[in-house]
Amino acid sequence: MLSSSFLLALLAAVAVHAHTVITYPGWRGDNLITNETFPYGMQWMYPCGGIGTTQNRTLWPLTGGAIAIQPGWFQGHGTAFFYINLGFGTDGPDHGPPNMSFPMVPVFQIVGPSKNPYPGTFCLPQVPLPANTTVKVGDNATIQVVETAVHGASLFSCVDITFAEPAAVAEVNASNCFNSSDITFNQVYSIAGDGQSSAAPASAGLGIGVWSLLGLGLGAGLAVGGM
């Protein structure tokens, strides 16, 4: 698992080539790679961008916690949708989860300062556990961050975690959880044929918008038409 200090140095070095980097609580590994083996880039590969499960897991609170992301993408990707999912256990492929089928937050859209790559960061300081799930200290899981680009393809990054008491988890502060002023957000919602709108579904009982997760006030919304 890559440390926060290493990630900050990596961001400075690869900002012009980056897709998505999880800067807190950790990152499964550097998958910002394009070569003969991965001609389209590693990060496009489901479920975790071509990186196998790590043995050096990061502690994350039983009650949910922070997730910080550097979403700088290749040129031409001025907006993106984000999904954050959780997979439980180690019974799946490569000793990881069997699936990543537990949404943690509603889908939301970010808008960058331009269509060019940039090093901005955003942080969700209190991402809850998926609805109707329970965990105990020592349970293993994997957080999956999915960035859907403007052309419809998805970029995958993961962090492997072990649940712990909040006091045992690395401190969340302004150095590792902050929102750059040049990134803005849209909540995604649907509009039915009768004109009624509703937030895009995520976890049952998650009646919160992206601004609540970010600790911000209300902002704009992005409508998705329905029948």
Q: What is the DSSP letter of 202?
A: -
Q: What is the DSSP letter of 170?
A: P
- Cα 37 to chain center, whole Å? 25
Contact 90, 53 (CB under 8 A): yes
Residues 20, 146: Cα–Cα separation, whole Å:
9
More confident residue, 50 or 115: 50
Residues 156, 111: Cα–Cα separation, whole Å:
19
For residues 95-124, give the mean pLDDT: 89
> What is the residue type of 83?
Y
Is 46's pLDDT higher than 90?
yes
Give the Cβ contact number of residue 89 at 10 Å: 14
Closest CA to 44 of 154, 159, 157, 158: 154
Confidence of residue 13 (pLDDT cuts 50, 70, 90): very low
Contact 107, 118 (CB under 8 A): no
Residues 182, 188: Cα–Cα separation, whole Å:
20
Is 221's pLDDT higher than 60?
no
Most confident of 14-23, 133-142, 144-153, 198-207: 133-142
Confidence of residue 91 (pLDDT cuts 50, 70, 90): very high
- Which pLDDT belongs to residue 212? 62
Confidence of residue 120 (pLDDT cuts 50, 70, 90): confident
Confidence of residue 132 (pLDDT cuts 50, 70, 90): very high
Helix H or strand E encompassing 2:
none
> What is the average pLDDT score of the chain?
79
The domain defined by 4-181 folds into Coagulation Factor XIII; Chain A, domain 1 (2.70.50)
More confident residue, 80 or 88: 88
> What are the domain boundaries of the chain?
4-181
Q: What is the DSSP letter of 8?
A: H
Closest CA to 75 of 115, 19, 35, 47: 115
Q: What is the pTM of this model?
A: 0.80
- Which pLDDT belongs to residue 190? 74
More confident residue, 27 or 41: 27
Confidence of residue 219 (pLDDT cuts 50, 70, 90): very low
- Which pLDDT belongs to residue 176? 92
% of the chain with per-residue pLDDT over 70: 74
Is 87's pLDDT higher than 80?
yes
Residues 89, 221: Cα–Cα separation, whole Å:
35
Tally of CA atoms within 13 A in the half-sphere of 111 that contains its CB: 9
More confident residue, 131 or 33: 131
Is the peptide bond prior to 130 cis by the omega test (within 30 degrees of 0)?
A: no
Residues 47, 166: Cα–Cα separation, whole Å:
27
For 138-182, write each residue's pLDDT tens digit.
Answer: 999 999 999 998 888 899 999 999 999 999 998 899 999 999 888
Contact 80, 110 (CB under 8 A): yes
Report residue 182 as tokens. 């040049």
- Which pLDDT belongs to residue 33? 78
